[in-house]
Structure 1
Amino acid sequence: MSTFSNFTLKQEYDRLIAAGDKLSEIDKLINWKPFRTILESMYINRTDKGGRPENDVVMMFKMLVLQQ
C-alpha cells in the first residue's frame, strides 16, 4: 500500500474508534436469555440431510434485528 492509503486508513480507523462501539452498548441493555427459549423451539436443524450450520439462535436473531 502507498503511504497515502495507509494514512487514510489510519484516519478512518481513528474516527471509528472515537465514535465508540454502539452495538456493545445495546447488547448490555437487552437481556437475551428469554429470547433463547423461544428461538430454540422454532429453529431445529438436527436432520441427517444437513442444511444450515448449527449457529447460535440468539446470534442469528441479532443479525436479523441489525438487518432491519
Structure 2
Amino acid sequence: MAEGRLTVISRAGQPVPKAPPPPPPYPPAPPKARRTGRGSLRGRIRMPATFDDPPATIAEAFGVR
C-alpha cells in the first residue's frame, strides 16, 4: 500500500486485492501525570475537615442522624 493507494499482490498467479490502509489514528491521549514517587502530590490536594460528613438531607434520608 504505497502512498495510500490500493495494492494488488498476486498469489500463485491469482491477483489478491488488499484492503486500503487504515484511517489515521485517533487524537493522541492526553499526557500522563509525571509523578516521581510516593507522596509526590502531598500538599497539592486539600480536603475539608467535613469531607466524611454527609450533607444533612442525605444523612436523614438514610437514617444516619
Q: What TM-score do the two structures reach when normalised by structure 2?
A: 0.27
Q: Could you say which structure has the higher helix fraction?
A: 1
Q: Could you say which structure has the higher strand fraction?
A: 2
User: Relative CO higher for 1 or 2, CA cutoff 8 Å, sep ≥ 6?
Assistant: 1
Give 1 or 2 for the bigger CA radius of gyration.
Answer: 2
